[in-house]
Chains A and B, each alone.
Chain A
Amino acid sequence: MMAELSSVTGSAARWRFAASSARAAYLPPADARHPPAGYFGAAVTVTIGCVAAAAYLSVAYPGTVEVAFIAVLVVFLAACVSLVVFAPPVLTSSAMARNTGVCLGLGSSLGLLLLSRSNALDAGAMTFIVPVQFLTLVIAPVIVAGIARSLRAAVQVIIASFVSGGVMMLPVYILESIRRYHTDRGLYLDGDAPIGTTIETNLGDAISWLLIIVPSLMIPLGIMGAALATVVVRAIERAVRRTSPVVAAAGSGGIDKKTGS
């Protein structure tokens, strides 16, 4: 594309060519970006799960589901499904990253459910959510960045972990917070039972802490950590190659010299 652009003259023609090529780069033909069938099925299933949990809540506890909650849920689910179905190439280039993220999300959801059912979260779900999101949104991307020597792969892990973890933990959080509320009228988030706590308070916690506040802290840390890991691993690789000609000869076949990745 860049080579073709260099042969186009005239500002307007160059802009037209650049715009049409950029559109082709960001949004390739639909048949070139079909998601794997398993991912599509999983996306539909968890979306139905989230909607069913919210619908159950609005039927069983009329008046507790606010418009803001429904709006955030709809936007989040629409973003998740569109990421799975219409993901641009920049988000789907590493199958390892995507699989890692989805597995971490599934593990987070199952962990929350099992620990909650075994009464290990009496101190509140926050004792699980913060460490697990640190693991999935910071530690795992840093490891993947180190292994793949690629910041892009790490970002894909972060997005896949956030989307799959959020969409699978949300229904668990909603249903378990209802159970907790009926047990001791407490908050599922931190185990406290302040005066005036309602089901609605638990819902607000689910949205704000699970989908907004904790990820807002962890995702930037994950990106900066992954960038650092990429730089360090590449520097070590260059140093090893300089000091050992044998390793350099063996390694030169696997490294793209143009991109360094």
Chain B
Amino acid sequence: MNPTIGRAWRVTAELLLIAITVAVIVTGVMYALAAPSFDHPNHGGNAWRNFVTGSVVLSVLGAGAAWVLWLAWRQQAALNVQPDAPARFLAVAVATLPDGRRD
């Protein structure tokens, strides 16, 4: 496979995984917060609407922020030039260290 296309696929897969993870966590927390009000005779409809709106908005915002952090992190780790998976794994860890302690 063309290395550029392979890299693009890898980045896309990483971003997709991050978005799905954030959406699942946000939706779970929102459900736990809103679920007790779903059966309320007067506020049940509002609770459902708030749950859906809140889940969508917070998932989009959270995924955006997580993407920004991950892209900055993978740029710092120079993941695109690492030769194999162990090197990428270690580069991600080393990138978390302050500049003076990377050796």
Contact = CB atoms under 8 A, between A and B. Distances in A.
Contacts of A93: 98
A15 B86 contact: yes
Contacts of A212: 29, 33
B103 A259 contact: no
Q: How large is the interface on A (under 10, 10 to 19, 20 to 34, 35 or more residues)?
A: 20 to 34
A100 to B, nearest CB: 18
B54 to A, nearest CB: 8
B36 to A, nearest CB: 9
Contacts of B1: none
B8 interface: no
B32 to A, nearest CB: 8
Contacts of B102: 1
Interface string A197-224: 0000000000010001100110111011
Interface of A is mostly: helix
Contacts of A89: 96-98, 101
A25 B91 CA distance: 10
B17 interface: no
B72 A151 contact: yes
Interface string B28-50: 01000100000000000000000
Contact of B87 (A2, A26, A219): A2
Contacts of B65: 219-221, 223-224
A31 interface: no
Interface residues of B, number: 31
Given A17-B86, A18-B86, A89-B98, A26 B68 contact: no
Given A90-B97, A217-B61, A5 B68 contact: no
A21 interface: yes
Interface string A13-37: 0110111011001100000000000
Contacts of A17: 86, 90
A22 B91 CA distance: 9
Given A21-B93, A25-B93, A216-B26, A5 B86 contact: yes
Contacts of B61: 216-217, 220-221
B91 A90 contact: no
Given A2-B87, A21-B90, A256 B33 contact: no
Contact of B96 (A14, A15, A88, A213): A88
Interface string B75-102: 0100000001111011111101111011
Nearest to A94: B98
Interface-central residue, A1, A220, A223, A259, by most chain B CB under 10 Å: A220
Contact of A259 (B29, B87, B89, B99): B99
Interface of B: 26, 29, 33, 54, 57-58, 61-62, 64-65, 68-69, 72, 76, 84-87, 89-94, 96-99, 101-103
10 contacts: A1-B102, A6-B87, A26-B96, A89-B97, A216-B58, A220-B65, A221-B61, A224-B68, A227-B72, A259-B99
Given A216-B58, A223-B68, 5 more contacts: A19-B89, A89-B101, A217-B61, A223-B69, A261-B99
